[in-house]
Amino acid sequence: MSQERVILVGVETEKNYLHFDSSMKELKSLTKTANGEVVFSLVQKRQQVDRQTVIGKGKVAELQQLAEAHEADLVIFNHELTPRQSQLIGDALEVPVIDRVQLILDIFAMRARSKEGKLQVELAQLDYLLPRLIGQGKNMSRLGGGIGTRGPGETKLETDRRHIRNRITIIKRELKEVAAHRDRTRQKRKDSQVFQMGLIGYTNAGKSTILNILTSADTYEQDQLFATLDPLTKRWRMPEGFEVTITDTVGFIQELPTQLIDAFHSTLEESQNMDFLLHVVDASSEERVQQEETVLKLMEELSLTQLPMLTVYNKADRIDADQFVPTLFPNVLISAKSTKGKERLTQAIKMELMQIMQPYHLVLQADEGNALNRLKRESLVLSNAFDEATQTYHIKGFALEDTYPLRRMAQEQE
């Protein structure tokens, strides 16, 4: 598949100057992920963006020349464009113009695997495109043929608004059914009292890699933004026998478009029902602190801050570990690519679980093999000694409130 030649456009203002460089860098990565080749970046400093064309008439003329000189197929703005801005710039350049939101939607369309993921992408695309149908005529001719045009939201757009509104209604109805099914699955996991862990973090921090090394799940694992779109839940048995589920979620990103927060709320909602979160951070990223802030801010919006959390600083192989200064606690520094990484992470998780669980001590009779197996599965067993004299097992471990080991201990003490 040949790459499209792309020009990026960004305006540094009083509002965004702190994060402007990292935002442009991220836009470049996003473009690469969408199979685009950045041939030029046009950057401008202004007090505020121009209301009509974002960059002003003079710069638009310059951009037109640049597009011709570089034979650009597409221009991507690092700002959300209003329908009017989009039309004015597109008419002046005579080259298709999209913005950061459309680019992200496009990548989501490439990545969606499950029925729910595809439906949510389509909903977000349709919501976004509906007010922008005027002036889309020229772009429609390239539909299905490049960045900003992928995914299911591209049929009949220029001619049929009613078709889009009807489709939105149908998708919302289907999503409700899918959400109800997901709720039932989630409730089943809760009822079975399985300990649930969630992976969260900035996009491309290595969440899927960590899921893979812990559970041997074969998830899509690439050095790309938004490699995972659909929440994926896998079972993991810890070395002590304790069985937990781990759910991978879509990566967070700064300035996540509001359409996406709405559309992907249910994928992130999964995390609200977790017992424990693993916040994966790319320790080698130059924007690490800012990425941490982005995730923590989104966690606040999603009411996740009350959940116990371990920060996993990943990609230790790319940094000088002795010089590394963590910002979030508790934490562990690992390289998910190394064998020691798995051991260190497992040990750190175990230490944290002991903080959030309650200790118990039970005595089982020699013929209670089933109860012993259940304890190993449903709690963190730390010691298991058999007393020859009394023919009993002495089990010490940690368990969550209102689970079998603690209920049994309470019965024995009555």
Q: pLDDT digits over 156-211, tens only?
A: 444 567 888 889 999 999 988 887 887 787 777 667 778 989 999 998 899 989 99
Instruction: For residues 8 and 97, give the distance between their C-alpha atoms in angstroms, rounded to a whole number.
Output: 10
146 is in an annotated binding site: no
Rg of the chain over Cα atoms, rounded to whole angstroms, equals 25
For the chain, give the percent of residues with pLDDT over 90: 50
206 is in an annotated binding site: yes
Rounded mean pLDDT of 391-400? 94
228 is in an annotated binding site: yes
| Average pLDDT value for the chain | 85
Give CA 340 to chain center in angstroms: 25
248 is in an annotated binding site: yes
9 is in an annotated binding site: no
241 is in an annotated binding site: no
15 is in an annotated binding site: no
Give the full edge-to-edge strand order of the sheet including 358-365: 358-365, 392-399, 380-387
The model's pLDDT over 68-77, given as tens digits with 9 standing for 90+, comes to 999 999 999 9
179 is in an annotated binding site: no
316 is in an annotated binding site: yes
245 is in an annotated binding site: no
| DSSP summary character for residue 249 | -
The structure tokens 């836009």 sit at: 27
Cβ neighbourhood burial of 195 (10 Å; 0-12, 13-18, 19+): buried
205 is in an annotated binding site: yes
- DSSP per residue, 142-178: TTTSSTT--SSTTSSTTT-HHHHHHHHHHHHHHHHHH
315 is in an annotated binding site: yes
Q: Do residues 7 and 36 lie in contact, with contact meaning Cβ atoms separated by under 8 Å? A: no
What's 74-134 look like in SS3? EEEECCCCCHHHHHHHHHHHCCCEEEHHHHHHHHHHHHCCCHHHHHHHHHHHHHHHHHHCC
390 is in an annotated binding site: no
Per-residue model confidence (pLDDT) at position 58: 93
321 is in an annotated binding site: no
117 is in an annotated binding site: no
229 is in an annotated binding site: yes
350 is in an annotated binding site: no
267 is in an annotated binding site: no
348 is in an annotated binding site: no
Per-residue model confidence (pLDDT) at position 365: 93
124 is in an annotated binding site: no
Amino acid at 169: T
Res 286 pLDDT > 60: yes
Res 330 pLDDT > 50: yes
314 is in an annotated binding site: yes
* More confident of the two residues 224 and 262: 262
Query: How far, CA to CA in Å, does 240 sit from each of 102, 309, 347, 381, 401?
Result: 47, 21, 11, 6, 19
The structure tokens 């304790």 sit at: 242
State the DSSP H helix or E strand holding residue 27, giving kind and residue range, or none if neither: helix 20-33
Rounded mean pLDDT of 146-158? 57
At residue 142 the predicted structure's pLDDT band, cuts being 50, 70 and 90, is very low
The region of weakest confidence among 208-217, 354-363, 379-388 is 208-217
317 is in an annotated binding site: yes
